[in-house]
Structure 1
């Protein structure tokens, strides 16, 4: 029986917020691999992006893409929880005509996506292969942003703030697929790691919530039975937390 399942956010958590490097987490990742502990990537990134990262990390476990829109079992099977992206873009076009100010991936060519994300051209192309969500940069003021979110709710949509972008999506979350993971790995302790408000649903339903230090991590108050807060950001904090859990709770 699998004792642990690690479910992790990427940007600002397993990956450095600025460099996107995961090298500081390598010792903990290698230890988890040796123990055959599933490491499930759970991100706003696309399936194309996560597939490539899984290869770099030598992971073969399931993964969750686009803020919980789809759970890909990694064997050709998947479970979807969202409507296609084109439906979001239709609504966003209507809201823009009403005066809301924003830009998103659908508005940008590849060079602009590179500029806005800091990714190289290849990675930016993978990031553009969105199926269910639309990342935005909000260009208005805070009251306008609140009104925009209310307007989205009227269309059964929501906007979650991630590490860089405001992600427009359906009424699901990073926590939605955790129940399916529990069915796949019955009895396992779910360790979830995240650093931003859009990680809250995932952290709430974990057994051990790890809040990775970031500019917005103090906003996170997980409902999980046990919460750990790291003193270091990004992959350094990730490595610290996983090593501590394995050392003291095994």
Structure 2
């Protein structure tokens, strides 16, 4: 079914929001796949907004047996729009997709890590892109295939350290070099832009086709920017949410993804009021 306009737009983070961060069961994937197809039949556009790589999202689409018409990858550095959604007068699509790049190659961040060589943190952190798929699989607690796709980063660096002071130092160095730094539950993500900027760009391109509610879902301060753009922000977290300043919002504390699916279903498909 091809929708000329959309009755709603759902912007959602993936890890710890739509999916458990690791070891999701086939039943979970099947439930999400089924729900996404129902939304599509009702002309609701679902757009992942995630730190995952393009390769990870392409693999996720295959696992779900579902093709996203648009998605934001690597924390906002890449916006991919399908040919069916893109305005043919805006750009020429190749391979059925239009790709907008908001960041330079991740090698631009090398000076950040060079600056750490003379500090006590030089051996206390790892970059995801420096790991083999086997090593990355252990760090991420994912399958080898997922790890192979996760290390294929073009624009961003993902940093892990068990030393909080070192993470703070890396964050400080990144910002002083003109980059952005976002903390998630286990990692520090470095890049040249954020999810909010990418979502605003996407809305400038396709927003005229959205005739209903814009809702968003995420789980961490890294999602705060694009969550605040939506009319209905949904936070999926067991932790305090003092980092989010827009009111009102919906908070879900458990049962990923079923509680989120229930909320979206009731308020977009059944049109129940949020407040």
Q: What TM-score do the two structures reach when normalised by structure 1?
A: 0.88
Q: Is the 8 A contact 1:209 1:222 kept in 2?
A: no
Q: Which residue of 1 aligns with 2:90?
A: none
Q: Which residue of 2 aligns with 1:66?
A: 74
Task: Give the one of 127, 130, 135 matched to 2:158.
Answer: 135
Task: Give the CA deviation at 1:145.
Answer: 3.2
Q: Which one has the largest radius of gyration?
A: 2
Deviates more, 1:94-103 or 1:154-163: 94-103
Q: Is the 8 A contact 2:131 2:151 kept in 1?
A: no
Task: Give the one of 35, 39, 47 matched to 1:32.
Answer: 39
Task: Give the CA deviation at 1:27.
Answer: 5.3
Task: Give the CA deviation at 1:50.
Answer: 0.5
Q: Which residue of 2 aligns with 1:165?
A: 187
CA 1:176 to 1:20, structure 2 compared with 1: closer, same or farther past 3 Å?
Answer: farther
Task: Give the CA deviation at 1:185.
Answer: 2.7
Q: Which residue of 2 aligns with 1:239?
A: 261
Q: Is the 8 A contact 2:167 2:188 kept in 1?
A: no
Runs of 4+ residues deviating >4 angstroms: none
Q: Is the 8 A contact 1:230 1:240 kept in 2?
A: no
Aligned pair 1:212/2:236, yes or no?
yes
Other structure's SS at 1:77 match: strand
Aligned pair 1:9/2:31, yes or no?
no
CA 1:27 to 1:242, structure 2 compared with 1: closer, same or farther past 3 Å?
Answer: farther
Q: Is the 8 A contact 2:7 2:43 kept in 1?
A: no
Q: What TM-score do the two structures reach when normalised by structure 2?
A: 0.81
Task: Give the one of 159, 166, 174 matched to 2:195.
Answer: 174
Query: What are the superposed Cα offsets for residues 19-40 of structure 1, whole Å, 9 maximum, x if unpaired?
Result: 2354354554243122121111
Gap runs ≥5 in structure 2:
83-95
CA–CA distance in structure 1, aligned partners of residues 127 and 174 of structure 2: 15
Q: Which residue of 1 aligns with 2:23?
A: 19
CA–CA distance in structure 1, aligned partners of residues 20 and 169 of structure 2: 32
Q: Which residue of 2 aligns with 1:94?
A: 115
Task: Give the CA deviation at 1:61.
Answer: 1.0
Give the number of aligned pairs. Answer: 246
Query: What are the superposed Cα offsets for residues 63-104 of structure 1, whole Å, 9 maximum, x if unpaired?
Result: 000111111113331111112111123422332443333111
Gap runs ≥5 in structure 1:
none
Deviates more, 1:41-50 or 1:131-140: 131-140
